[in-house]
Structure formats: structure tokens, C-alpha cells
Amino acid sequence: MHVVQINFFADPKCRPPAALLREWHSLVDVAAAATSAGARVTVVQASLVPDETVQSGIAFHFVAPSVTGAPLARAGAFRALVRDLAPDLFHVHGLGFPRDVLELRKIAPSVPILIQDHADRMPRFWRRAIWRRGAAAASGVSFCARAQAEPFQRARLLAPGVGIFEIPESTSNFVPGDAIAARVETGIDGSPAVLWVGHLNANKDPFTVLEGVSAAARDLPGLRLWCCFASAPLLSAVEARVAGDPLLRERVHLLGRVPHERVERLMQAADLFVLASHREGCSFALLEAMATGLTPIVTDIPASRALIGNNAIGTLWRCGDPQSLCSALRRGAAELASRPRVRVRAHFDRELSSAALGRKLLAAYRSIVEQRPRAAAGVVPP
């Protein structure tokens, strides 16, 4: 089966293709996962810097739109490439490109389309008609958690008969490591050592984490919180909160931006991974944490529930509730003696690894291609 994975989102930083292949890990990892399961995969990526390359046996085509800001699918180079590739299925990344999807349907009306959600928000009301038409051109839509489809279904943005697939957005190549050596290398300490990886913004909710850590520290005096973050609009307020609480002052370490390879070592050194998000499409940091065997202590939201198998590993806690987090941290610390890293990594291997992602993708691809007669009709509502 030949699958063309398409990303219509062009890098606003105009990085060259080689840099995107290094820095956009999912661009490579999702293609490699499907390839490992037996699909033949070609990747088409919108790019203001055109190029072609082959990596790990996968062909990557970086194609520029004819006019900056115009739908890539209207570009002559894109249309010619898609026709030449002649795939069995298109796998489109992101729900937010309905015009491109409609153009894609015109170019190849008999080829079915799977659209993969990437934390796409509900569109404004005035954009819902075009979204509805774009989604109707697809034979299937995948979400990290099936529950994430429900708002789109309630708004009638997804056709009643469209296939819904529960598939993680990506995977991780992180691995478990020697925790003692990782602690020496990184300087991480704590009993437990708790790691946060995420932006310091309202959605990631650092203040609830700080309140929960402060409460848990009364019973866990050895607790230490280590925070890695990139964008940090709440940094000043977070620093003030930490400075004003004697239970946090010596326990919270704000590391700031950390190189990606360093994150792996920090995860190998820590005991618990905390996530306070109110909304996630699919937390890449959580995937990476579980790849190292790090126990997740995460908010009870659809994506996190799906990733940790509904409490099969780790602990879920209520969004915005410091006492719920406090209880989860106590439970996580108490369970460390049972060596949970082995269980966490086993769950990752079974459900979230490259091999597992590839199996899920291939199953969705086959399911959709088997419905080819319906998809081939190419009926797009007005």
C-alpha cells in the first residue's frame, strides 16, 4: 500500500528542509512508523524552500505554494507531484486545511483521505461551512482520543458516516537509562524528583502544580520539582510564587529551555512526570516521559487518559485542583518502591512505540482503503 502523508502547514521560520527533518521529530517518526508496519510512505511537506531527499528509505518532497499564503494544493508543482505519486491513500496532517483537502479531492477523486487531528481547535462560526466541506471529503479522521471527536460531531463538522480512529499523534525514540548515572550527569536530585516539561502558560497551569507541590511537600520533605520550558509568559509570576513560599523556595528549580537530547537524560533521572494541562491534542512530552519509563502524574483530560490507558499506568488528577495533584504525588511516591519504570515502558512498547503506532496507522489505512468504493464517489456537499 502506497500512502502519501501530507503536511500543508509551512514553517513560518522558513527553516531549510534539513533543519525541519532534525527538529520536527513527528514529521519523520510518523512516516517511519507506518513504514515499519509495511506501508510504502512518501511525505509531502509544505515549505518555502523546495527540496527533495530520502531518509531511511522514505522520500520527502518539500514543495512551495505558488503564492505565499495560498493553499499548497493549488500549486502546479504539488498537483503534478501528487498525480505522479499515484498513492492508494492520502494521510493529511491537521483538520485546519479544508481548502487544501478539497483541492486534493479534485486532483485525485478516487483516492481516499485520512485526516489526522493535531490539537485543532473548533473553527469560528464563519469558517464552519468550509471546514464541514473539507471534512466531508475525507473517509476517516483520527484523534489521539476518541472523545476528542465529540465536539466536532456535535457541531456537525464531521459527516455522520466518517470513520473515527483513535491513534496517537506520534511516538518517541527516547529510551530508559541508568537513573543514577543520569542524576550525576544532570544534577537532578529529590525523593521524589518530579519533572515538568512544558510552556509556562495558562493552559499548562503551573500555579496548580506549585500549589500541589507545596501541599505534598508537607508529607514528602525530599520532593524536588524540576521545570523545563520554552515560552514562558507567566515566568515572572511563577518566580514570585516560588520566592514567596518557603516550601517551594528550595524545592523548585526553573531550568528554562533545555536541548531535546538533555530532556531525555532529565527524564531518565527523575522519578515522576507531572502534566497539568487543561487541553492537549497529544502531549509529546508525555510520550517521551513514558518512553523512558517515567511514571506520569497527569490531568484527567481525553488525550492523557488515552495515552496512559485510563490509569493503566501512572495517576490521573483533576484539572486545576491542587489537592488532587497532592494526592496523586503522594501515591506516585509511594509506588516508586515497586519499580514502576518497567511497567511504564512495557505499556509504551505495547501501545505507543513506533511499532505500535505503525500497526494502528496501517489498520486505519486498510480499513479506509477497503471502503474505496464509497470514497471513490468523491461527493463533496455544497
| Residue 226, helix vs strand vs coil | strand
Distance of CA 293 to the CA centre of its chain: 18
Angle, helices 25-36/354-369, rounded to nearest 10 degrees:
70
Tell me: the pLDDT tens digits for 217-260?
999 999 999 999 999 999 999 999 999 999 999 999 999 999 99
How far apart, in whole angstroms, are the C-alpha atoms of residue 83 and residue 294? 45
DSSP 146-207: GGGGHHHHHTT-S-TT-EEEE--S---------HHHHHHHH----TTEEEEES-SSTTT-HH
- Find residue 44's DSSP bridge partners: 6, 61
- Domains of the chain by start residue, with CATH: 2-168+356-376 (3.40.50.2000), 179-352 (3.40.50.2000)
- Give the pLDDT of residue 183: 97
Tell me: the pLDDT tens digits for 42-62?
999 999 899 999 998 999 999
Q: Cβ atoms within 10 A of the Cβ of 256, count?
A: 11
Residues 169-186 have a mean pLDDT of 96
Residues 108-120 have a mean pLDDT of 95
This prediction has a pTM of 0.92
Q: Which three cell numbers stand for residue 37?
A: 508496519
Among residues 207, 133, 173, the alpha carbon closest in space to that of 29 is found at: 173
- Give the pLDDT of residue 4: 98
Tell me: the pLDDT tens digits for 62-87?
999 988 778 898 999 999 999 999 99
Q: Give the Å distances, CA to CA, from 15 to 49, 63, 65, 230.
A: 8, 13, 15, 19
Tell me: the pLDDT tens digits for 300-327?
999 999 999 988 899 999 999 999 999 9
pLDDT band at 381 (very low <50, low <70, confident <90, very high): very low
